[in-house]
Amino acid sequence: MKTIIRPSRAAAPVGPYSHAVRSGDLLFCSGQIPLDPASGQLVAGDIRVQTERVLENIQVILEDQGLGFGHVLKTTVFMTQLADFAAMNEVYQRYFAGDYPARSTVQVAALPRGAQVEIEVVASYV
């Protein structure tokens, strides 16, 4: 059984997918790009600015479900330039304190709407 998650404070998806899906005790969040929830437009700025917006968008989804970053088990980070890895990490580590989730980071040729970073997460309700 699955439950579709559509937080009212989140930016609308840019395609035919849900913000997240709950199955049992797991929450699978779709990859988030740096969209401003108010305008639905990509935020301007460097990798730090875009990573912060992505993580704020993920936080909206987690909070909608009564969860926080401490519930995240696994993240996947997609970047268009791995040369920005250290700068992305500077922002990323502010959101995940202490016991970090498992993570994969990959460079991709392009991301939706010209984003520099996209992050997806899997979280646990327990």
Structural domains counted in the chain: 1
Task: Write the DSSP string, the chain.
Answer: --EEE--TTSPPPSSS--SEEEETTEEEEEEE--B-TTT-SBPPS-HHHHHHHHHHHHHHHHHHTT--GGGEEEEEEEES-GGGHHHHHHHHHHHS-SSPPEEEEEE-S--GGG-SEEEEEEEE--
Task: Read off the pLDDT of residues 84-123 as tens digits, 9 standing for 90 and up.
Answer: 999 999 999 999 988 899 999 999 999 999 999 999 999 9
Global pTM reads 0.96
- Give me the pLDDT at residue 119, please: 98
Averaged over 37-63, what is the pLDDT? 97
**What does the pLDDT read at residue 97?**
82
Q: What is the pLDDT of residue 98?
A: 83
Q: What is the pLDDT of residue 84?
A: 98
Cβ-Cβ contacts under 8 Å for 76 (sequence gap 6 or more): 31, 103, 104, 105, 106, 119, 120, 121
Range of the structural domain that residue 62 is part of: 3-124
The answer, yes or no, to whether residue 31 has pLDDT greater than 90, is: yes
CATH number at residue 32: 3.30.1330.40
pLDDT at 16: 95
